[in-house]
Amino acid sequence: MFGLENKVILVTGGNRGIGAAIVAKLEEVGAVVGYTYRSSPGPAGKLPLKADVTDIDDMERVISQVEDELGPIYGVVANAGITQDALLSRMTKAQWDAVIGTNLTGVYNTIRPLAPLMYERKEGAMVFVSSVVGEQGNIGQANYAATKAGLIGMAKTLGLEGARYGVRANVVAPGFTETDMVKAIPDPVKEKILKTIPLRRFATEEEIAWGAAFLLSPTLAGYITGTVLSINGGRHT
């Protein structure tokens, strides 16, 4: 149904959380998955590769290795990301640079060497993992929000640039999701957050993974590009 059987997908930050769920879901629908990690590999995936997305030379190595060992890369999920929260009036330049470098420049470092390969083959799909924070903002996360909003602009632009080559670019924007980070939030705070979500629950990691798999699918989403899939339980304001 997904049309991803035996297609090679690269996932950045695929060792835990939403990234690991995406890797597992893609394998479930028949894809062959290589993924990057910073510290330790995850439980799934055909080819785990330790890499630093802030280093374009490292990402060129990753792309070459995936293509050499698994075959031509059909799709990519740019998921690697970090947070370093502070009010902007107190945020250090180092905090700003670290988040921009990983979350936004890291995607450039991934796509820059990969896009020409996809364009030459005249097929491919890119999915960028943004966030509800990129759509709405959030106190104490100016750096993170800027990167996640930037990914939306990047995907819309790449949707236009890649269209003539048959290469699509889209965004999945998760709302609050049952990751380890959210599970650690104190219960009273969780209750306040849940009141802002019309469906009155958090997303599961698997639900976000289904969204990424859908956007990668040439059969289900072949006419979708430059679009944001917001998986947030109706929390649009």
CA of residue 149 relative to chain centroid, distance: 13
> At 234, phi and psi to the nearest 5?
90, 5
Show the tokens assigned to 63. Answer: 């792309």
For this structure, is 165 an active site residue? no
Cβ-contact 19, 51 below 8 angstroms: no
Indicate which residue of 35, 37, 74, 144 is catalytic: 144
DSSP 188-224: HHHHHHHTTSTT-SPBPHHHHHHHHHHHH-TTTSTT-
Closest CA to 210 of 220, 200, 199, 202: 220
Strands in 123-214 per DSSP E: 124-129, 167-174
| Positions marked catalytic | 144
